Structure 1
Amino acid sequence: MLEAAAQAIGLQGGGRLQYWITRVHPTSDRIPVAAGFTPYRDLWRLRRSLPALPTTISTRPFTTADTEGFLDVNNRAFEWHPEQGGLTTDDLAAKQAEAWYDPDGFRIWEHEGRIGGFCWTKVHSDVTPSL
């Protein structure tokens, strides 16, 4: 099936084909590698209980005035990432329109008057327990 998908894309002029493995075990890469795929990224889903540990790092909620600075930091940090690295103003607005978006969970850290980092929590309340 992987080879057929690659051939179909090739017949349409080429492109990029990604194969995601959701239930990973030590031999998960064997079949896709045999079909010509190259592993390039591992996705880890990490969880922790809340509230978080106390910290001296001060953050604040994202505001629309932060859009340009956020996009600059995000796109530099994720330059290599196929979905995250080229985020635009329209992409950001679309993400903020998603059901999971919580404005208070989009935190900005400033350093010397500029955005130095951010944290964007994505809580899925439609499952139990919430993720």
Structure 2
Amino acid sequence: MPSSNRVLVVEDDLEIRESIMEILEDHGYEPLGAENGLEALDRLREPEPPPCLILLDLMLPRMDGKTFRQELLRHPGLANIPVVVISAFRDARKLIEDMQVSGLLQKPFKVHELVDVTRRYCLSRSSP
């Protein structure tokens, strides 16, 4: 069973990132935001407990989602954090085939889809 309620949201679109984080917070999670892969790696190096889930956009400035995932897989302490890609690409399934991710949320997704996938990997403060 997951031991954390922290979710790292790696999304360059500020509105989308803030919306996702607000939804997660409303459902008892502790969201952390990052605008790109480099910022996300910095967040993961902080001494806080690691997130139970990373929600990862593919198209990011400075370090894209695919490169970020490759970097994660090189670090044993980070490689096991579940990653769910969030993408508007119609062929996103094909793009993520070799990324060793836990899933895909196709943009635009519904609130319940986001909450359901997060529940799969994380505890919520509002969980019994």
Question: After TM superposition, is the score higher than 0.5?
Answer: no
Bigger fraction of residues in strand: 2
The structure having more radius of gyration, on CA atoms, is 1
Where is the helix percentage greater, Structure 1 or Structure 2? 2
TM-score by length of 1: 0.28
TM-score, normalization by structure 2: 0.28
